[in-house]
Amino acid sequence: MNTVVRKIIEIDEERCDGCGLCVLDCAEGAIQIIDGKAKIVKDEYCDGLGACLGACPQDALHIIEREAPEFDEEAAMAWVAERDAKEEAAKEAPKSSPCGCMGSHVKSMKTVEIEVPGSKVSGPGHWPLKIRLVPPTAPYLKDADVLVAADCAAAASPIFHSEFARGKVVLIGCPKFDDTNEYVHKLADIIRNSGIRSISVLRMEVPCCTGLSRALADAIKLSGVGIEAQETIMTCGGAKAQKTMFG
């Protein structure tokens, strides 16, 4: 392929927080979020005009001049059509996509820490928390210890944040009311693609909550990643009942 010295987008990965806003503003589909960072899919998809620059809140995108393949509009539009077709197919699958509301946008935050007798307690420091809403590319998953918790657990136990969730990225769900098959595929994507360090599950002692552990076990198998998970069972009174390992 012929190369020329031309204008093209350069992405500063140190500044990029993986928000994905630049992806939406790139009509040629040249930018994609990969491993929590914006990256150029192929140089020939980038026209170098910089329509994406204003979308970046971190000032991580700039136009530079370097040697690169010439912009190929036909190839770029074919790639966009293929990508959009896959996204449409995903939308048609039942419950396959989270909502597009502002409340599902990925955030990392400074945690609120309070003093309690004998220790300090802080919140999770990330958003969203729901398994269905967390993208596998969320930056806060990289090198994280992940806790998949029953959403009743925080309300049932006064030590949820100080003991069970301390230092972990928390993902919550309810296997009684949600589609656990969807959990399996989302958790498998997270295990396979996010770069997490470890994963565990905290479920309630009630029978319906066993679905959360089964979903994680199935997700580990589906991911093909050799990772062990720890299961902790909580009593309805908020106490720790037992721990087991699987994976």
Please report, for the chain, the start and end positions of each structural domain, with discontinuous segments joined by +: 3-92, 102-246
> Comparing C-alpha atoms, which of 191, 105, 91, 179 is closest to residue 141?
191
| Planar angle of CA 39, 41, 43, nearest 5 degrees | 105
Give percent of the chain with pLDDT exceeding 70: 85
CB atoms within 10 A of CB 59: 10
Q: Is the confidence at residue 50, as pLDDT, over 60?
A: yes
- Please write the tens of the pLDDT for every residue from 76-117: 999 999 988 887 776 555 444 445 554 556 655 554 455 555
For residue 209, give the DSSP letter: G
- Kindly report the CATH number that applies to the domain delimited by 3-92: 3.30.70.20
CB 57 within 8 A of CB 25: no
Q: Rounded to whole angstroms, how far apart are CA atoms 222 and 133?
A: 20
- Please write the tens of the pLDDT for every residue from 120-135: 666 678 888 999 899 9
Longest dimension (CA), the chain: 68
CB 150 within 8 A of CB 172: yes
pLDDT score recorded for residue 207: 87
Q: List the structure tokens of 183.
A: 């959990």
- Please write the tens of the pLDDT for every residue from 189-199: 999 999 999 99
Give percent of the chain with pLDDT exceeding 90: 51
- Please write the tens of the pLDDT for every residue from 165-212: 989 999 999 998 888 999 999 999 999 999 999 999 999 998 889 999
Average pLDDT of every residue of the chain: 85
